[in-house]
Amino acid sequence: MKQDLTLEDHTILAALEALEGGTGEPVTPHEPSETAETLARLYTEVLGLVACDLEPSAPRPETRSLLLAAVARESGIHVLPTVDPTPVDPIPAPAVRPIPAPAPLPRVALAPAVPAVPPGRSTAPRRGRRWPLALAASVALVLAGLSGWLVQQRAEQEVTIESLRSELAGERRKAEKALAEAAESQVEVERMRSNFVLVTAPAVTISPLRPDGATASPARGTLFVAPDHQHWYLALHGLPPATAGRDYQLWWVADEGIISGGTFDTRPGETLELSSATMPANTRDVMITLETDGGSAAPSSPPILRGAGVYDLS
């Protein structure tokens, strides 16, 4: 089976292996290529969506509180206790003893025995010594203003960076979407190409499928089987949609018995295409029946379509 697997099949098998391994990691690409990476991403998301059908149920509020408390403990964040809204008695202010005012000093008439200022120097230097203080104050003021401006600039830059980051993330998402679409198209083209190669191969066996017996059904089909008697492609048209609770089922008539090829349904006017890389060994005939929804273990109704027998699949 392995040699027939496509890159997509390999990716799905890798997804299943990831599920078995239970590491919780996304699907690993089968090979180092962009297509393989995109397919791995797509099937990772399919796995994520499988669990989406479950009815959500809200956890107990305690679970959330415990989690956040644990997080706070781990990161050393102190959780503030709930503030009690009841007013607290004000703490009495300490008694302040008034400090007695100092007694006025006796006025003493000082004789200018020694001049306070040396001769020849005026009082101007005293005023002059204040300028460093004034300069320091001015510098401090300027620095404070500059710091404020820098903080504001930084905040603005952070906003700009955040906005650019979010734009970049948006562009990245768009690019990823485009890549995903391209990969999907590539997979589709690959599928169509392989079907085209199959139906145009010189040694392909072609078998028309016709309504069984005297049924006046417009349904028709054509089965193409590759020379390896494994790859096949079936085109069906004119089949009406199955009635409620019913499905069409494909059957292979082989040496080992009648084997189910799977169930399907169709839409009005649709040409249905089915294909696979495997079919039972020594298949001699093919037929389609209408079965209960989900299919049966063995055909339970007369064939709607069956191989017209003008081919040899053995």
Partner 1 sequence: MPLPAPAGPVSDAVLVRRVLERSPDALAELYDRHAPSLLALARRILGRTADAEEVLQEVFLHLWNNAGRYDPARSSVSTWLVLVVRSRSIDRLRSRKVVDRVHEAAHLENPVPEHASPDGVESVFIRERRQRVKAELELLPPEQKQVLEMAFYKGLSQSEIAGLVGLPLGTVKTRTLLAMKKLRSALRSEIRELL
Binding residues for partner 1, per CB under 8 A?
Answer: 1, 8-9, 12-13, 15-16, 18-20, 22-26, 37, 40-60, 63-64, 66-68, 70-72, 74-75, 77, 166, 169, 173, 176-177, 180, 184, 247, 262-263, 276, 278, 294-295
Closer to partner 1 by CB, 210 or 275: give it.
275
Question: Could you tell me the smallest distance in angstroms from the CB atom of residue 149 to partner 1?
Answer: 22
Question: Could you tell me the smallest distance in angstroms from the CB atom of residue 216 to partner 1?
Answer: 29
Closer to partner 1 by CB, 40 or 219: give it.
40
CB contact at 8 A, 294 and 216: no
Please report, to the nearest 10 degrees, the dihedral formed by the alpha carbons of residues 40, 41, 45, 50 taken in order: 0
CA distance 26 to 52: 17
Question: Could you tell me the smallest distance in angstroms from the CB atom of residue 307 to partner 1?
Answer: 22
Closer to partner 1 by CB, 26 or 299: give it.
26
Closer to partner 1 by CB, 139 or 188: give it.
188
For residue 25, the one-letter residue type is E
Question: Could you tell me the smallest distance in angstroms from the CB atom of residue 210 to partner 1?
Answer: 26
Closer to partner 1 by CB, 13 or 199: give it.
13
DSSP letter for 219, please.
-
Question: Could you tell me the smallest distance in angstroms from the CB atom of residue 27 to partner 1?
Answer: 8
Q: What are phi and psi of 30, to 5 degrees?
A: -70, -30
Please report, to the nearest 10 degrees, the dihedral formed by the alpha carbons of residues 30, 35, 41, 45 taken in order: -110
Closer to partner 1 by CB, 154 or 177: give it.
177
Which residues, 6 or more positions from 127, have their beta carbon under 8 angstroms from its beta carbon? none
CB contact at 8 A, 286 and 306: yes
* CB-facing half-sphere around the CA of 194: CA atoms within 13 A: 17
Query: Tokens 């080992």 belong to which residue?
Result: 256
Question: Could you tell me the smallest distance in angstroms from the CB atom of residue 2 to partner 1?
Answer: 10
